[in-house]
Chains A and B, each alone.
Chain A
Amino acid sequence: MNAELLLAADAATKNDPVLNISIFAAFVIVTMFVVIRASKNNKSAADYYTGGRGFSGAQNGMAIAGDYLSAASFLGITGAIALAGYDGFLYSIGFLVAWLVALLLVAELMRNTGKFTMADVLSFRLHQRPVRLAAAISTLVVCFFYLLAQMAGAGGLVSLLLGISDSVGQSIVVGVVGALMVIYVLVGGMKGTTWVQIIKAALLIIGAGVMTVWVLALNGFDLSHLLTAGQDAAHAVKKPFEALAYGNKYGKNPIDFISLGMALVLGTAGLPHVLMRFYTVPTAKEARKSVVWAIWLIGIFYLFTLVLGGGAVILVGPDVIAAAPGKDNSAAPLLAQALGGAVLMGIVSAIAFATILAVVAGLTITAATSFAHDIYASVIKRGEVSPNAEVKIAKRTVVVIGVLAIAGGIGVQGQNIAFLVALAFAVAASANLPTIIYSLYWRGFRTRGALWSMYGGLISSIFLIAISPVVSNVAPAAGATSTAMIKGVDFHLWDLSNPGIISIPLAFILGWLGSVLPGGKKENSWLGAEMEVRSLTGHGAEKEVHH
């Protein structure tokens, strides 16, 4: 990278840290006020874990969008589109189509049969303790991967906004994000967390919408003009690329691309923090409405990122983005600066921070609920624990997760956020989704199948990532710097960065084999009938809490 480019990047990132921090602080103060107000009615476990199941479909749909449109979507996808053209588009299409799995197969039946966690549904008619434990472990692993991705985003963002590129400064910011998240979740529980997500979703979608209209206006509301200008800008740089071609980013290994596509589309309906949101509404019908709202909001937002990515290529330039401190993750804030100067950049950066904060809060409450409700109350104490004691454990878990997230977040600085999220999706699609689908749709599914599928999916996906070039690779492609997590050593045995194409089918096969092979414990067919009747009719579903 030459000095000229660095200078350009430096100039592009010249901004006002005080302004950025003030806007973000305003968000924190407003949301904290809302969280404290919302928490006044938190009395029972159902209040703490699900917000008393009192949210409407529209509110929950907003919150789902707030939960789902993470920093990976906003910063990562805009950056990927800006630097790799249509290859970045694949992420958004996969992330969106995935919602059909949640809408058609999972949301309503899950709402009808569960109480607080994914494990409630999976262990409904199988042997409680082993299945709960497996489901809770995979919940914790997926949440942790996802948390790391958000924390990496926080660090990248701060290096861009405050000009802090040394690791101490970035670590402090990661620490602040972690501490704020712990406070939100401790004080507000699910109700407070949901409100933070709703506020953040509104800000994010409005902010992206304003920038989209702005970019379109600069191009005379003519899509062809935007694309032509984008193509020209991509040609004008030192290492020109065809912005309108495919395969810029993943073209080298087509199987990897397909593997990524599978993980994206099958991962969503297995994400524990998404599943848990279905319990915050009073009925299955409201759960359906939530997903419909979420699909529209998320879909429209991804259409915005397409324009924003194109706008970043034209107005900022791919070489400046690539040379900026946050690399591709900085495309959106840099575009904001090019459009509206320091003020808009401050607003957009504050929104991105708010995004990270809201998503980590949702992940934290999910992981804490799963630990307290599934592992502590059901597995360790065998159900002999009062709901209040359970919530107390959940709150302690929140603090532990906060510490782990901060420590891990400091360790993953500089990773592409969208990629880290893709790994979380791969684990969710492998470890969770097969068992969810089998539990809800196949009466012959048995405990052994569930355990084989969940542990098999979890272990195979993580193992394949560990031996992939993502984790260790000393021989990067010519001219590129190594993107591996561990540099200097090379123990990669396997050329795919995305494990999904192997681990997802494997988990489905293991679930089937474990159920049909002779041996293993017998299941209660009566509970199977009960689960199916209840899943379809909504009879006996958990009710809204009234105060």
Chain B
Amino acid sequence: MSTEETPQKEHHRIDYPAFEENPTYKQLKKRQRGFVWPVLIAALAWYILYVILATYASKWMATPIAEGSVISIGLVLGLGQFVTTFVITQWYVSYANKKLDPLASDLRSQLEAKQKAGKA
């Protein structure tokens, strides 16, 4: 069964180090790294900020957003974490669909062609 073979054996005909010079591949890598790292670091920084505020500025976090309101700044910021998580998720999905998937599928067919040529 082919799925039980080790990956190294299965694909030894493709020169992967050479393939890394492929311009489409370079672009895919640049886009993927260029999206995920900045977005993730920003999201984690925003989360850590919330945790630090909840710890060291707990009085401020408990202040009502308006006079007489029971809704505190902390609740709004906490719900804000939910909102940013949902927004980033959908943002990444649309980015990946438009900018990553087409390149990846193009590269995949190139690699499959190479593999066939290698076997022949």
Instruction: Give residues in A with beta carbon < 8 Å to B.
Output: 44-46, 86, 89-90, 93-94, 96-97, 99-101, 103-105, 113, 115, 124, 223-224, 227-228, 231, 242, 244-247, 250-251, 254, 257-258, 261-262, 265, 284-285, 288, 291-292, 295-296, 299, 302-303, 383, 387, 441, 525-527, 529-530, 532-534, 536-540, 542-543, 545
Please determine whether A537 and B86 come into contact, CB atoms closer than 8 angstroms. no
CB distance from B12 to the nearest CB of A (A): 9
Q: List 28 A-B contacts (CB under 8 A).
A: A44-B4, A93-B81, A93-B82, A94-B47, A94-B51, A96-B85, A97-B43, A103-B89, A104-B35, A104-B36, A223-B71, A231-B70, A245-B62, A247-B55, A251-B55, A257-B54, A257-B55, A261-B48, A292-B90, A295-B86, A296-B86, A532-B20, A533-B25, A536-B25, A537-B25, A543-B2, A543-B3, A545-B3
Please determine whether A89 and B25 come into contact, CB atoms closer than 8 angstroms. no
CB distance from A41 to the nearest CB of B (A): 15
Chain B contact residues: over half helix, strand or loop, or mixed?
helix
Using A223-B71, A292-B89, A530-B11 as known contacts, say yes or no to A539 and B28 having CB atoms under 8 A apart. no
Q: Which B residue's beta carbon lies closest to that of A120?
A: B7
CB-based closest 7 A-B pairs:
A246-B58, A261-B51, A529-B16, A254-B55, A539-B111, A227-B70, A104-B36
Extra 19 A-B pairs, beta carbons < 8 Å, given A113-B7, A387-B1: A45-B4, A46-B4, A100-B43, A100-B88, A100-B89, A104-B36, A224-B70, A227-B71, A257-B55, A261-B51, A288-B93, A291-B89, A299-B82, A299-B85, A532-B20, A532-B29, A536-B104, A539-B107, A545-B3
Please determine whether B40 and A100 come into contact, CB atoms closer than 8 angstroms. yes
Using A295-B89, A533-B19, A538-B104 as known contacts, say yes or no to A97 and B47 having CB atoms under 8 A apart. yes
Contacts of A257 in B (CB 8 A): 51, 54-55
Using A90-B54, A100-B89, A223-B71 as known contacts, say yes or no to A533 and B62 having CB atoms under 8 A apart. no
The complex places the Cα of A262 from the Cα of B52 at a distance, in Å, of 11
Contacts of B101 in A (CB 8 A): 285
Please determine whether A246 and B61 come into contact, CB atoms closer than 8 angstroms. yes
The complex places the Cα of A303 from the Cα of B75 at a distance, in Å, of 12
Out of B20, B32, B50, B108, which one reaches A539, CB within 8 Å? B108
Contacts of A383 in B (CB 8 A): 6
Please determine whether A246 and B16 come into contact, CB atoms closer than 8 angstroms. no
Interface centre among A224, A246, A247 (most CB of B within 10 A): A246
The complex places the Cα of A63 from the Cα of B9 at a distance, in Å, of 33
Please determine whether A536 and B28 come into contact, CB atoms closer than 8 angstroms. yes
CB distance from A143 to the nearest CB of B (A): 25
Q: Which B residue's beta carbon lies closest to that of A285?
A: B101
Please determine whether A529 and B82 come into contact, CB atoms closer than 8 angstroms. no
CB distance from B88 to the nearest CB of A (A): 6
Q: Which A residue's beta carbon lies closest to that of B75?
A: A86
Contacts of B90 in A (CB 8 A): 292
The complex places the Cα of A318 from the Cα of B76 at a distance, in Å, of 24
Please determine whether A99 and B85 come into contact, CB atoms closer than 8 angstroms. yes
**B38-65 CB contact bits vs A (8 Å, 1 = yes)?**
0110011001101110111011011000
Number of A-B contacts (CB under 8 A): 170
CB distance from B15 to the nearest CB of A (A): 9
Interface centre among B8, B40, B89 (most CB of A within 10 A): B89
The complex places the Cα of A265 from the Cα of B36 at a distance, in Å, of 16
Size band of the B side of the interface? 35 or more
Please determine whether B55 and A387 come into contact, CB atoms closer than 8 angstroms. no
Q: Which B residue's beta carbon lies closest to that of A524?
A: B8
Please determine whether A387 and B4 come into contact, CB atoms closer than 8 angstroms. yes
The complex places the Cα of A90 from the Cα of B85 at a distance, in Å, of 14
Using A258-B51, A299-B86 as known contacts, say yes or no to A288 and B108 having CB atoms under 8 A apart. no
Contacts of A246 in B (CB 8 A): 54-55, 58, 61-62, 74
The complex places the Cα of A261 from the Cα of B69 at a distance, in Å, of 28
Out of B20, B28, B54, B75, which one reaches A529, CB within 8 Å? B20
The complex places the Cα of A546 from the Cα of B71 at a distance, in Å, of 54
The complex places the Cα of A380 from the Cα of B3 at a distance, in Å, of 22
Please determine whether A529 and B17 come into contact, CB atoms closer than 8 angstroms. yes
The complex places the Cα of A542 from the Cα of B104 at a distance, in Å, of 16
Please determine whether A251 and B43 come into contact, CB atoms closer than 8 angstroms. no
Contacts of B17 in A (CB 8 A): 525-526, 529
Contacts of A295 in B (CB 8 A): 85-86, 89
Contacts of B29 in A (CB 8 A): 532, 536
Please determine whether B47 and A261 come into contact, CB atoms closer than 8 angstroms. yes
Out of A44, A105, A242, A533, which one reaches B36, CB within 8 Å? A105
Contacts of A224 in B (CB 8 A): 69-71
CB distance from B5 to the nearest CB of A (A): 10
Please determine whether B55 and A533 come into contact, CB atoms closer than 8 angstroms. no
CB distance from B69 to the nearest CB of A (A): 7
Out of A104, A245, A441, which one reaches B39, CB within 8 Å? A104
Q: Which B residue's beta carbon lies closest to that of A544?
A: B3
Contacts of A284 in B (CB 8 A): 104
Contacts of A387 in B (CB 8 A): 1, 4
The complex places the Cα of A529 from the Cα of B52 at a distance, in Å, of 40
CB distance from B83 to the nearest CB of A (A): 9
Interface centre among A113, A115, A288, A545 (most CB of B within 10 A): A288
Q: Which B residue's beta carbon lies closest to that of A228?
A: B70
Please determine whether A526 and B58 come into contact, CB atoms closer than 8 angstroms. no
The complex places the Cα of A21 from the Cα of B95 at a distance, in Å, of 48
The complex places the Cα of A115 from the Cα of B32 at a distance, in Å, of 22
Contacts of A89 in B (CB 8 A): 78
Please determine whether A540 and B78 come into contact, CB atoms closer than 8 angstroms. no
Interface centre among A101, A441, A530, A543 (most CB of B within 10 A): A530
Q: Which A residue's beta carbon lies closest to that of B114?
A: A539
Contacts of B2 in A (CB 8 A): 543
